[in-house]
């Protein structure tokens, strides 16, 4: 069993924002595998299913990004899983749109959702997939940028980026973090 967690913010005002890239990846994964992410538990929406024959639980915490840790910890405990059985999907300003970075552990890189999870689990030794959203081109506050919606040019790249993320998650489930990183980190093809 793997717990696949997409980070984002709940509510209509956050739909299709850059900061909700984790939610978008989980939605794409759920669509591909016919998993309904509708069960309300652990301050989250959850859905259980299989990816390539492996049991998975998809999670979208509804606690707001900066407070994701308690929801993730609660789901891990209920499923009797360890942090190594987790994959957290988050947005990343330091990666261009379309670029992915899979790591088995590491710091938060300033991402408050990852920081919350690290604090609640008392470890940073959990796998994560960072989904590049790029930095703003104009002088705009980072907070405003991540909470803004994708523009037309970005929207045209988003579908392919989500598909790459789904393939990367499939690789994590099938082959493990290191092999998935070898296959999917770097420039989009």
* DSSP state letters, 18-78: GGGHHHHHHHHHHHHHT----EEETTEEEEEEEETTEEEEEEEE-S-GGGHHHHHHHHHHH
> Structural domain boundaries of the chain?
2-184
83 in Cβ contact with 106 (< 8 Å): no
Q: Per residue in 165-187, pLDDT tens?
A: 999 999 999 999 999 999 999 77
Inter-helix orientation angle 177-184/152-175, to 10°: 140
Whole-number pLDDT of residue 189: 59
Confidence of residue 137 (pLDDT cuts 50, 70, 90): confident
Tokens 């360890």 identify what position?
A: 82
The residues carrying an active-site annotation are 19
Specify the CATH superfamily of domain 2-184: Peptidyl-tRNA hydrolase (3.40.50.1470)
Handedness of CA 41, 133, 164, 160 (dihedral sign): positive
Confidence of residue 27 (pLDDT cuts 50, 70, 90): very high
Mean pLDDT score of the chain: 94
Q: What is the mean pLDDT of residues 76-93?
A: 97
């Amino acid at each position: 069993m793997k717990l696949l967690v997409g980070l984002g913010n709940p509510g209509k005002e956050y739909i299709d924002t850059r900061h909700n890239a984790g939610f978008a990846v989980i939605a794409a994964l759920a669509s591909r595998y016919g998993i309904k992410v509708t069960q309300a538990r652990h301050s989250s929406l959850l859905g259980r299913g299989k990816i390539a024959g492996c049991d998975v639980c998809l999670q979208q915490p509804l606690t707001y990004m900066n407070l994701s840790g308690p929801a993730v910890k609660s789901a891990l405990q209920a499923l009797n899983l360890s942090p190594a059985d987790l994959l957290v999907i988050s947005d990343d300003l330091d990666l261009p749109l379309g670029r992915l970075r899979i790591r088995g552990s590491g710091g938060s890189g300033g991402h408050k959702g990852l920081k919350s999870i690290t604090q609640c689990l008392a470890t940073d030794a959990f796998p994560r997939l960072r989904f590049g959203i790029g930095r703003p081109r104009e002088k705009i506050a980072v907070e405003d940028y991540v909470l803004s919606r994708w523009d037309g040019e970005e929207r045209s790249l988003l579908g392919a980026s989500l598909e790459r993320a789904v393939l990367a998650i499939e690789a994590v489930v099938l082959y493990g973090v290191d092999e998935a990183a070898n296959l999917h980190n770097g420039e989009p093809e």
